């Protein structure tokens, strides 16, 4: 038999809920009915309050509460004898909740690209600062901490720093052509040296660790084959970095070099340094990082080196961590990297949801209390309560009109100002706005505690 789902709602949302369910519910998959509680907005109620007012008829298998309902649902489940769960916070998300994109979300745990996170100018930092940056990088997804040294002098704290990082359980690489620094680092536990070419490859025989081979002249790959031959002959493990160049300085040609190196050395480990593109291109870094990861995944480049110095790159490590999982899944299962997870969609939202004129007009007719409901869609802010339905794109003008019809105390005014600022931001960027909820910024989203009950109260039964 088909399961029977009972959706709990308040008086205001009833028409919109019924219409949404009629459009998205699969008749072959389940039957549904709607229980309307004696309250205008059931999301303001608690599970225990709902338990006192809900009657579950015979044949119902599951009860679906709005996602914002607070309190323990287990007593309600015991009382009704059926499964009780929270649905989405917004009823417009129900199509995804039942069989839509949510059902298609992929398991993005797997990946095979390692992230080396470089801490720049380590000789200029204190040990405490280096350790703090390293821990932050690890928590963001970095696999190896790369110590970026300054040319021109020898860093005396190399060994001490490497030992301190290793004692924190961190893997370490050293980015230096200074032999004294490199020898101290590898003796203290560094596992990788960036980089070697004809100038220092001879010393690599004594380091006992893996190295990164680079060309003497990147534009022609000059010297790279000779360095690789030397490392192979002396049994020094290595990975190859053909060197990515900035846009306007040979970027396309440098991408072609990765293709050429992969052709010459089909089994070799490769590394790509992404900073020359992300740090030196004035654009949010997430999209660039994802495209570079796509190149790496398809070419079998199994490590990337990143920095996050300039402000638009400040979350590059986390972007690479999320991106490598998305790209791995897309390439392994030959599916588009789309609708698999939206954590890297930050500026805009994946899909704009709109209530529409019909729903908003119905809502305006049914509201009997002075509390304001805010919506942002179709280029306009919509303000509704018992005495008004205002539309416009200027929050100051709208607020002046609100004051003409309703007395608004300072607490409520602050709340409305904050919410209207969020709403106009959503309109400007192409995001969804839901009153009393945080705007979604992908993995950068900061959750907000609900303030509506503090402003409006939860005993509204009108």
* Residue 386 pLDDT grade (very low, low, confident, very high; cuts 50, 70, 90): very high
Cα–Cα distances in angstroms (integers) from residue 213 to residues 108, 118, 130, 184, 269, in the given order: 31, 17, 26, 20, 10
pLDDT at 20: 84
Give CA–CA dist 193/356, Å, rounded: 59
Quote the mean pLDDT of the chain.
Answer: 91
pLDDT tens digits, one per residue of 79-106: 989 999 999 888 878 877 776 433 344 6
pLDDT tens digits, one per residue of 222-272: 999 999 999 999 999 999 999 999 999 999 999 999 999 999 999 999 999
pLDDT at residue 70 greater than cutoff 90: no
pLDDT at 103: 36
Mean pLDDT to the nearest integer, 37-52:
88
Mean pLDDT to the nearest integer, 109-114:
96
441 in helix, strand or coil?
strand
pLDDT tens digits, one per residue of 159-189: 999 999 999 999 999 999 999 999 999 999 9
Q: Which range has the worst mean pLDDT, 137-146, 217-226, 262-271, 445-454?
A: 445-454
Contact between 382 and 375 (Cβ < 8 Å) = yes
Cα–Cα distances in angstroms (integers) from residue 343 to residues 320, 339, 355, in the given order: 12, 11, 24
Pairing, β 4-9 against β 62-65 = parallel
Give CA–CA dist 33/10, Å, rounded: 14
pLDDT at 457: 47
pLDDT at 336: 87
Residue 182 burial (C-beta neighbours within 10 Å; 0-12, 13-18, 19+): buried
Helices (H), 395-460: 395-405, 410-429, 452-456
Ordered structural domains, the chain, with CATH: 4-104 (3.40.50), 114-333 (3.20.20.20), 356-456 (no CATH)
pLDDT tens digits, one per residue of 337-368: 988 888 999 999 998 989 999 999 999 998 98
pLDDT at 340: 85
Mean pLDDT to the nearest integer, 211-220:
94
pLDDT at 455: 58
* Higher per-residue confidence, 23 vs 279: 279
Mean pLDDT to the nearest integer, 298-314:
97
Query: Around 263, how many Cα atoms within 13 Å sit in the side-chain half-sphere?
Result: 6
* Higher per-residue confidence, 43 vs 245: 245
Among 295, 293, 254, 289, which residue's Cα sits nearest to residue 275? 289
* Residue 68 pLDDT grade (very low, low, confident, very high; cuts 50, 70, 90): confident
pLDDT at residue 450 greater than cutoff 80: no
Mean pLDDT to the nearest integer, 404-426:
95
Contact between 185 and 158 (Cβ < 8 Å) = yes
């Amino acid at each position: 038999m088909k399961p029977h789902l009972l959706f709990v709602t308040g008086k205001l949302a009833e028409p919109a809920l019924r219409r949404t369910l009629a459009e998205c519910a699969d008749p072959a998959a389940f039957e549904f009915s709607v229980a309307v509680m004696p309250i205008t907005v059931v999301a303001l109620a608690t599970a225990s309050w709902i338990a006192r007012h809900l009657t579950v008829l015979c044949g119902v298998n599951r009860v679906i509460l709005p996602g914002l309902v607070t309190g323990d649902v287990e007593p309600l489940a015991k009382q009704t004898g059926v499964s009780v769960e929270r649905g989405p916070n917004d009823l417009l998300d129900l199509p995804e909740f039942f069989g839509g994109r949510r059902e298609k979300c992929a398991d993005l745990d797997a990946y095979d690209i390692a992230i080396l996170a470089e801490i720049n100018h380590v000789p200029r930092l204190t040990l405490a600062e280096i350790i703090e940056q390293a821990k932050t990088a690890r928590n963001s997804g970095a696999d190896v901490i790369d110590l970026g040294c300054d040319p021109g002098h020898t860093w005396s704290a190399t060994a001490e720093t490497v030992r301190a990082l290793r004692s924190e359980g961190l893997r370490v690489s050293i980015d230096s052509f200074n032999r004294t620094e490199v020898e101290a680092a590898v003796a203290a536990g560094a596992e990788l040296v960036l980089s070697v070419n004809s100038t220092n490859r001879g010393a690599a025989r004594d380091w006992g660790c893996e190295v990164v081979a680079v060309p003497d002249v990147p534009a022609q790959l000059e010297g790279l084959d000779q360095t690789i031959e030397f490392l192979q002959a002396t049994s020094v493990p290595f990975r190859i970095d053909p060197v990515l160049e900035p846009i306007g300085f040979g970027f396309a040609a440098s991408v072609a070099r990765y293709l050429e190196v992969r052709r010459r050395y089909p089994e070799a480990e490769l590394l790509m340094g992404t900073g020359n593109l992300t740090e030196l291109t004035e654009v949010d870094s997430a999209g660039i990082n994802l495209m570079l990861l796509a190149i790496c995944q398809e070419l079998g480049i199994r490590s990337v080196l990143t920095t996050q110095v300039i402000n638009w790159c400040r979350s590059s490590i986390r972007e690479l961590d999320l991106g490598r999982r998305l790209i791995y899944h897309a390439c392994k299962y030959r599916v588009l990297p789309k609708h698999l997870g939206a954590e890297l969609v930050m500026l805009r939202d994946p899909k704009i949801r709109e209530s529409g004129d019909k729903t908003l007009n119905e809502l305006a007719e049914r509201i009997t209390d002075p509390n304001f409901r805010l919506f942002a869609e179709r280029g306009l802010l919509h303000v509704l309560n018992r005495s008004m339905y205002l539309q416009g794109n200027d929050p100051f003008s709208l607020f002046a009109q609100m004051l003409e019809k309703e007395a608004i105390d300072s607490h409520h005014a602050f709340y409305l100002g904050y919410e209207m600022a969020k709403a106009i931001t959503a309109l400007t960027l192409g995001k969804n706005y839901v009153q009393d909820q945080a705007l979604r910024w992908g993995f950068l989203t900061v959750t907000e505690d609900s303030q509506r009950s503090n402003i409006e109260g939860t005993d509204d039964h009108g």
